[in-house]
Amino acid sequence: MDKKAIEAVALSIRSLSMDAIQKANSGHPGLPLGAAEAAAVLYGEVMKHNPANSKWADRDRFVLSAGHGSMLLYSILHLAGYKVTMDDIKSFRQVGSHCPGHPEYGDTDGVECTGGPLGQGVSMAVGMAVAESMLAAKFNTPKHTIVDHYTYSLVGEGCLQEGVASEACSLAGNLKLGKLIVFYDENKISIDGCTDITFTDDIKMRYESYGWQVLRGDMYDVEGMAKLVAEAKACSDKPSLIMLKSIIGKGAPKQNTADVHGAPLGAEGIIEAKKTLGLPTDKDFYVVPEAYKYFEDKKAEFAKAEADWNATFDAWAKENPELKKLWDAYHSDAATAEVSDVEYKVGDACATRDASGKALNVIAERFANLVGGSADLMGPNKTAFKCDNGTFSPANRAGRTIEYGIREFAMSAVCAGISLHGGLRPFCATFLVFADYLRPSLRVVSLMKQPVIYVFTHDSIYVGEDGPTHQPIETMASLRAIPGVQAIRPGDPEESMQAWNMAYASKDHPVCMAFTRQALAVYEKADKNWKENMATKGAYVVQDAANPDITILASGSEVNMALKAASLANGKSIRVVSVPDLAKFASLCPCEQEKIIGNPKRVVCTEAGISTEWLQFAKKEDCFCIDRFGTSGPANKVAEYLGFTAEKLAEILNK
């Protein structure tokens, strides 16, 4: 190790970070000043990467979980030779900048994920480590190893306090993810002061109880840090937490205090810090020449690492043509087998969760890269694979089923990491009402435009006896409210199969599907082009009427209710429209909506949830919805108690 060069890189990180934050008059200097050595050692001496190609498949991944310290990441990416220019650094936190306030996936070359909300970054890193081990089991051969990389993350005090990190790290220990190495920037400071006011956990004992190897060191002993990484790598059956004692805001006048965490140092503070650190006080955005030279000299080494891998990959591909075809299919979401959709006859009846389970297995046979599981609800969610290789575990890295345990938030974040890694398509599942537990991750998944698939079952008051805590009322509306999230509520088993086709076809957004516990009959569909219209318009005509007196817009189980209610209407001409994807239907131009609705005298809407979103189509009195919590009892009795029956809907139609 060239210790002097590493120190020059760390000093340059501090220089760029404090000046960028000062110029923006916004940002968090504490972490970049305090943890610069970690970035310098990782990118200079530890990680297998090539800045000339940030998408190299077998690169090591680095996730800055403590995303508020983003200037640490932008600085090292710039110095290492990624496509982060000095102008980018100087435009930190400005509109349109490639250096936004927190790392955003897709905005900056070399940034592996959106790492803003604390705890989610390290949880996504767990997913990346899962993906690496799955792909290694699938594609490595005795002669050629083409998947062999590590996932690194840097966490701060806040990450370790957030529950999602605890969920994910517990899972990582259970899965014995030995290629996950996490650095803990242990400075004992958060926004409100010393962490002792709220956070006195014994982190070493906590992580050892999760099944991690825990190592201790000094952030400023760069050679010692490299030795700790080597020790972490030597332990193949445990993830490693490397606890590094550090000084937040190192070199600043207010180092080691909360004041340096999240505010610019100020003009005088910058001068004092530069004097302390030995930086020129008359130069902004100064880079120590040795730092640039160090990475310039590393270019050939970085390029050779990728070139060597390419040669190995080419030899592997030549000797394993079928595996190569599969690799290409995995990384392009291409079908690996021809499998027909599940077919139903009109009148067939089953819970749409059962129909979803059948559809899932069709998709799993068709696309070999589908992996996933549920939050300890595989049976109720109907998410068991019939064509898999068992459960993913330390003893079976080839398994396609992931047992997440009761960890909904981490489950979603891990799926995000799997998706970001590339090569695999993840899904996860739980009851619809528990979407609230994973909603913060779903929001970030949507921000990153990742096509994670979410299976939600037990979608309404028809959960029944479990009562109002388990009966979702506002949940579908809350999912539809997240920009970029596609929420689908199929009305019968046929629509459930099509929902899965739609979900897998999505490439740039997450898809949430909500399925019933109770049986629903397959209904005849007046629109013979219904599959395409469901996918492209979000709605289609189930029961036609040329000049309808009333058009009923319904989603999910309420389509069957609407058909029954229409049969009870007194001589009225009624069109029934299924609206599995309300947001897509609402986004259509009025003329396209009118083609489906049919210019009736009245529009009536029904869904076993709140009426808020349906008010754009009908008057309040014509929205047959549920704007209150449910109650405990058998499903049909609950519906009767709430007055949510076809007979009551017919009364509205007959007004």
Dihedral of alpha carbons 34, 36, 39, 41, sign: negative
Q: Tell me, rounded to whole angstroms, the distance of Cα 408 from its chain centroid.
A: 12
Q: What are the tokens at 270?
A: 């910058």
Determine contact, residues 118/65, Cβ cutoff 8 Å: yes
Amino acid identity, position 242: I
Q: Which helix (H) or strand (E) holds 513?
A: strand 511-514
> 3-state SS of 588-643?
CCHHHHHHHHCCCCEEEEECCCCCHHHHHCCCHHHEECCCCCCCCCCHHHHHHHHC
Q: What is the Cα–Cα distance from 516 to 489, expressed in whole angstroms?
A: 9
> Which single residue is written with the structure tokens 């792909």?
135
- The set of residues, in sequence order, having a beta carbon less than 8 Å from that of 590 and lying 6+ positions away, is none
Q: What is the Cα–Cα distance from 341 to 12, expressed in whole angstroms?
A: 58
- One DSSP character per residue, 412-455 reads HHHHHHHHHHSS-EEEEEEEGGGHHHHHHHHHHHHHTT---EEE
Strand partners, 487: 512
Determine contact, residues 505/581, Cβ cutoff 8 Å: no
Q: What is the Cα–Cα distance from 263 to 68, expressed in whole angstroms?
A: 11
- The set of residues, in sequence order, having a beta carbon less than 8 Å from that of 386 and lying 6+ positions away, is 361, 364
Dihedral of alpha carbons 113, 115, 120, 122, sign: positive
Question: Residue 195 in 3-state DSSP?
Answer: helix
Q: Radius of gyration (Cα) for the chain, nearest Å?
A: 28
Q: What are the tokens at 207?
A: 């992580």
Q: Which helix (H) or strand (E) holds 575?
A: strand 574-578
Question: Residue 521 in 3-state DSSP?
Answer: strand
- The set of residues, in sequence order, having a beta carbon less than 8 Å from that of 166 and lying 6+ positions away, is 160
Determine contact, residues 295/80, Cβ cutoff 8 Å: yes
* Alpha helix positions (H), 81-119: 86-90
Dihedral of alpha carbons 616, 618, 621, 623, sign: negative
- Phi then psi for residue 5, to 5 deg, are -65, -40
- Phi then psi for residue 99, to 5 deg, are -125, 70
Under DSSP, the state recorded for 462 is: G
- One DSSP character per residue, 15-54 reads HHHHHHHHHHT----HHHHHSHHHHHHIIIII----TT-T
Q: Between the CA of residue 409 and those of 134, 201, 275, 416, 491, what are the distances in Å?
A: 21, 22, 45, 11, 28
Q: What is the Cα–Cα distance from 106 to 88, expressed in whole angstroms?
A: 15
Active site residue ranges: 408
Amino acid identity, position 407: R
